[in-house]
A and B are shown apart, each in its own frame.
Chain A
Amino acid sequence: MANRLNVAHHWLDVAEQLAWLSEDSAAGAVVNFIGQVRRQNLDDDVAALTLEHYPAMTKHVLNGLIEQAEQRWPLIRIVIHHRVGTLRPGDPIVFVGVSSAHRDAAFDAARFLMDKLKTQAPFWKKETTSDGERWLDARSCDEDAAASWD
């Protein structure tokens, strides 16, 4: 089992990550998710999205989620890359990639990691719209999605 965890201002080379996830020929399935900045949110045009985090805790939480995923599914490799700083509509925010022998484990683990990341990892989003800046509220549907794994 190997994994890559990174929180950074920059994005990553997606092709290189997919190549790394698929490198081990025991992997019959490679799944990835990319979250990106929507140009519209809550009926407003988004000019920018700024992400802040609590660095010491972020790594702690994400490492914990990777461990949980490894215990729950027979995974081969995991990549989590999350950006911080100011982003524009269309910019990628997060990459989660998983490889495993079969697709069910890879799909489930990727979804588990995203659902838990959204409700447990200490990142916060502030949007800039034509009306000014606003911190986004947590959504109950994200809580429900995360709780569905418990």
Chain B
Amino acid sequence: MNVLLFASLREAVGQETLAVDIALPCRVEALKQHIADQHPSIATAQSNQALLVAVNQMIVGNEHQVEEGDEVAFFPPVTGG
């Protein structure tokens, strides 16, 4: 599956999209951990509570199940307006 990255996370990882090899369905918490294990900047954002996850354009919690075909995005807290 692919995970979209935005803003500081995209810059820190150096990629707009991360290809992730994980069995689906899986919980958001497991997906975060899987990516954090490979990308220290994601681990840092996670430990600073500065990592939000959207599935199909809705922010979701750790318990949410990611299914095949879902659009998943990781990003920091938003700062528009």
A52-B6, A52-B7, A54-B73 given as contacts; is B78 within 8 A of A123 (CB)? yes
Q: Are A118 and B80 in contact (CB under 8 A)?
A: yes
- Which one of A123, A135, A137 lies within 8 Å of B80 (CB-CB)? A123
Query: Would you call the interface of chain A mostly helix, strand, loop, or mixed?
Result: mixed
Q: Are A121 and B78 in contact (CB under 8 A)?
A: yes
Q: Are B81 and A54 in contact (CB under 8 A)?
A: no
B57 at interface by CB-CB < 8 Å? yes
A60-B57, A122-B54 given as contacts; is B77 within 8 A of A54 (CB)? no
- A36 → B minimal CB distance (Å): 11
Please tell me the number of chain A residues within 8 Å of chain B, measured between CB atoms: 27
- Which one of B7, B76, B78, B81 lies within 8 Å of A93 (CB-CB)? B81
Among B8, B71, B81, the one with the most A-chain Cβ atoms within 10 Å of its Cβ is B81
Please tell me the number of chain B residues within 8 Å of chain A, measured between CB atoms: 19
Q: Are A138 and B78 in contact (CB under 8 A)?
A: yes
A124-B6, A126-B7 given as contacts; is B79 within 8 A of A54 (CB)? no
Residues of chain A from 60 to 103 with CB closer than 8 A to chain B in the complex = 60-61, 82, 93-94
Contacts of A3 in B (CB 8 A): none
- Which one of B6, B7, B76, B78 lies within 8 Å of A120 (CB-CB)? B78
Residues on A close to B: CB < 8 A? 35, 51-54, 56-57, 60-61, 82, 93-94, 114, 117-126, 135-138
